[in-house]
C-alpha cells in the first residue's frame, strides 16, 4: 500500500499558504478584515458556517447589552405576591428554565427562580419561594457583550437583568442570547415564535424588527404602504436596497424608515433596528446627499 501522507502534507501546506497569502497586506480596519474573510469564502478557504462564526465573534466585541436584550415589556416574570398554585401554570405555559421574580412591579427584581426548584413545592409542605431564589445579576445597558460573556462563564450565571442609567429595568439577557451572536440562532425560550413579537418598540422610539417579518405586516403596523414587489419580507427589502448580503451596521433608507442591520450572518439578515424619520430629518438627509453629488 502506498503512503500518501507526503501528498496530504503538501496539499495542507498549499492550502495554508493560500490562506496566509490573503493577509500579505495587513488589514487596518475591521471592514478590511471582513473583506479579506469574504474573499477567503469566495475562494472556498472558508465555508459559510465558519465565516458566519468569525463574523459573529467580531460583532460581539462591538455590541452592547441593549442591542440584543429581551425588552422589559417582553419579559416573562413571576410576581412574588402570587402563590405557586397561581403562577405554576404560567411557568408551564412559557417553558422557560428561569424567571426573574418581581415585587411591586418590574423595576424591583428580587431574584431569579429556577423552574427546577419548583419541584420542591410538591414534596415540601413548608416551601417558600423567597427561600429558593437565586441572586439576580444587574448590568448596565452599555455592557459590552464580550465582557458579559466572560463574566457569564466565570460566574456560571445564565441570566442578567439589564438596567438603565436611572436604575429602572430595561430588559434581560441570557448567555444563549450572547452565544447566538457567534453561532447563529439557537432554539430556546427567547426565539420570536409569535408573529406579534416580530416588531418590538423600545424606550427610544425605535423598533426591533425581525427580518422575516412580512412587508404586509410591517405596513399594517406602521400604517404605510411599502412595496412588496421586490421582496416579501423586511429583510428582503434591505437586501434589495444593498444589492448584496447585508452585514451588521449596514444602514438603508426605505422611504421614511431608517433600517439598520442589528444581526446578520453570511447567509441572511436576522434582526433590524428601525427608526421612522421625521420630515425634518428626511429633508436634512436630502440636503446632505445633494451636497455630496455636487
**CA-based angle 144:146:150, to the nearest 5?**
115
The answer on pLDDT for 85 being more than 70 is yes
The answer on pLDDT for 188 being more than 60 is no
Q: Are 76 and 96 in contact (CB under 8 A)?
A: yes
Residue in this structure with the C-alpha cell 419561594, named with its chain if needed = 129
Per-residue confidence (pLDDT) for residue 12, from 0 to 100: 47
Interval 25-53 mean pLDDT: 73
How many C-beta atoms lie closer than 10 Å to residue 139's C-beta? Answer: 19
Cα(27)–Cα(62) distance, integer angstroms: 18
Q: Which of 47-51, 158-162, 254-258, 290-294 has the lowest mean pLDDT?
A: 290-294
Interval 208-234 mean pLDDT: 91
Interval 83-103 mean pLDDT: 90
Higher pLDDT, 72 or 49: 72
All structural domains of the chain with their residue ranges: 5-46, 66-178, 192-282
Per-residue confidence (pLDDT) for residue 79, from 0 to 100: 94
Give 141-164 pLDDT, tens digit per residue: 999 999 999 999 898 889 999 999
Per-residue confidence (pLDDT) for residue 249, from 0 to 100: 78
The answer on pLDDT for 77 being more than 90 is yes
Q: Which of 144-153, 180-189, 202-211 has the lowest mean pLDDT?
A: 180-189
Q: Which of 5-19, 27-41, 77-91, 192-206 has the lowest mean pLDDT?
A: 5-19
Per-residue confidence (pLDDT) for residue 293, from 0 to 100: 62
Query: In this structure, what are the phi and psi dihedrals at residue 113, rounded to the nearest 5 degrees?
Result: -105, 120
The percent of residues above 70 in pLDDT, for the chain, comes to 82
How many C-beta atoms lie closer than 10 Å to residue 145's C-beta? Answer: 23
Q: Which of 41-50, 143-152, 218-227, 238-247 has the lowest mean pLDDT?
A: 41-50
Residue 239 burial (10 A CB sphere; 0-12, 13-18, 19+)? buried
Cα(261)–Cα(249) distance, integer angstroms: 5
State the pLDDT confidence band at 69, using cuts at 50, 70 and 90. Answer: confident
State the pLDDT confidence band at 244, using cuts at 50, 70 and 90. Answer: confident
Per-residue confidence (pLDDT) for residue 159, from 0 to 100: 94
Cα(1)–Cα(244) distance, integer angstroms: 49
State the pLDDT confidence band at 185, using cuts at 50, 70 and 90. Answer: low
State the pLDDT confidence band at 186, using cuts at 50, 70 and 90. Answer: low
Q: Which residues contact 233 (CB under 8 A, 6 or more apart)?
A: 211, 212, 213, 214, 215
The strands making up 70-71's β-sheet, listed across from edge to edge, are 70-71, 169-174, 159-163, 138-140
The architecture CATH gives domain 192-282: 2-Layer Sandwich (3.30)
CATH classification of 66-178, choosing from 3.30.360.10, 3.10.450.30, 3.30.300.30, 3.10.580.10? 3.10.580.10
State the pLDDT confidence band at 217, using cuts at 50, 70 and 90. Answer: very high
Interval 181-189 mean pLDDT: 61
CA-CA-CA-CA torsion sign (217, 222, 223, 226): negative
Interval 243-265 mean pLDDT: 85
Per-residue confidence (pLDDT) for residue 196, from 0 to 100: 61
Cα(138)–Cα(109) distance, integer angstroms: 9
Interval 10-39 mean pLDDT: 62
Task: Supply the DSSP string of the chain, one letter for each residue.
Answer: ----HHHHHHHHHHHHHHHHHTTSS--SSHHHHHHHHHHHHHTTSS-HHHHHHHHHHHHHTT-BHHHHPEEGGG---EETTS-HHHHHHHHHHH--SEEEEESSSTT-EEEEEEGGGGGGGGT-TT--TGGGPBPPPEEETT-BHHHHHHHHHHHT--EEEEE-TTS-EEEEEEHHHHHHHHH----STTS--SGGGSEEE-TTS-EEEETT-BHHHHHHHHT-----SS-SBHHHHHHHHHTS---TT-EEEETTEEEEEEEE-SS-EEEEEEEEPPHHHHHHHHHHHHHHH-
Amino acid at each position: 500500500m502506498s503512503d500518501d501522507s507526503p501528498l496530504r502534507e503538501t496539499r495542507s501546506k498549499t492550502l495554508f499558504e493560500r490562506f496566509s497569502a490573503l493577509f500579505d497586506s495587513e488589514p487596518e480596519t475591521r471592514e478590511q478584515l471582513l473583506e479579506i474573510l469574504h474573499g477567503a469564502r469566495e475562494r472556498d478557504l472558508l465555508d459559510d458556517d465558519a465565516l458566519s462564526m468569525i463574523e459573529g465573534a467580531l460583532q460581539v466585541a462591538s455590541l452592547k447589552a441593549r442591542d440584543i436584550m429581551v425588552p422589559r415589556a417582553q419579559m416573562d416574570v413571576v410576581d412574588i405576591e402570587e402563590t405557586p398554585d397561581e403562577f405554576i401554570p404560567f411557568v408551564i405555559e412559557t417553558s422557560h428554565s428561569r424567571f426573574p421574580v418581581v415585587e411591586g412591579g418590574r423595576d424591583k427584581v428580587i431574584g431569579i427562580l429556577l423552574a427546577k426548584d419548583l419541584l420542591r413545592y410538591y414534596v415540601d409542605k413548608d416551601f417558600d419561594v423567597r427561600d429558593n431564589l437565586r441572586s439576580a445579576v444587574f448590568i448596565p445597558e452599555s455592557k459590552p457583550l464580550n465582557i458579559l460573556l466572560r463574566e457569564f462563564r466565570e460566574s456560571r450565571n445564565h441570566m442578567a437583568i439589564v438596567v438603565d442609567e436611572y436604575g429602572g429595568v430595561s430588559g434581560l439577557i441570557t448567555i444563549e442570547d450572547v452565544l447566538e451572536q457567534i453561532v447563529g440562532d439557537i432554539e430556546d425560550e427567547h426565539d420570536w415564535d409569535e408573529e406579534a413579537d416580530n416588531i418590538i418598540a423600545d424606550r427610544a422610539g425605535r423598533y426591533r424588527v425581525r427580518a422575516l417579518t412580512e412587508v404586509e405586516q410591517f405596513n399594517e403596523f406602521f400604517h404605510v404602504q411599502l412595496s412588496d414587489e421586490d421582496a416579501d419580507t423586511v429583510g428582503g427589502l434591505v437586501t434589495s436596497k444593498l444589492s448584496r448580503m447585508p452585514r451588521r451596521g449596514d444602514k438603508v433608507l426605505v422611504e421614511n424608515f431608517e433600517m439598520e442591520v442589528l444581526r446578520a450572518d453570511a447567509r441572511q439578515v436576522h434582526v433590524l433596528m428601525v427608526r421612522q424619520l421625521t420630515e425634518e430629518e428626511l429633508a436634512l438627509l436630502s440636503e446632505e446627499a445633494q451636497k455630496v453629488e455636487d
